Amino acid sequence: MRLLLNFVTVLALAIFLAGTPTAYAQGCSLCNQSAQAASSKGRAALNRGIIVLLVPPVGMMTALLGYAFWRSRNDD
């Protein structure tokens, strides 16, 4: 039963992700123009800034999901 539930969950997630439209965040004309006009140091700083802003939410989500899976395995 648990295997079937896991399969259905993964299948539903795959269908959901396949059906979502592509996010065109890079389409913002002001952001795109300012990034293209920046020097190589400016572009490197922009890339580092994106990574710095991305790491905390990804880390928190990973920790939350890891805890949830750990908790579900230990409750049995």
**Residue 76 in this model has a pLDDT that exceeds 70:** no
The mean of the pLDDT values for the chain is 84
Asked whether 43 and 35 are in contact (CB, 8 A), the reply is: yes
Matching residue, tokens 């880390």: 59
At residue 50 the predicted structure's pLDDT band, cuts being 50, 70 and 90, is confident
Mean of pLDDT values over 42-51: 89
For 1-76, where are the alpha helices, taking DSSP H only?
Answer: 2-19, 29-37, 40-75
Q: How much is the pLDDT for 20?
A: 67
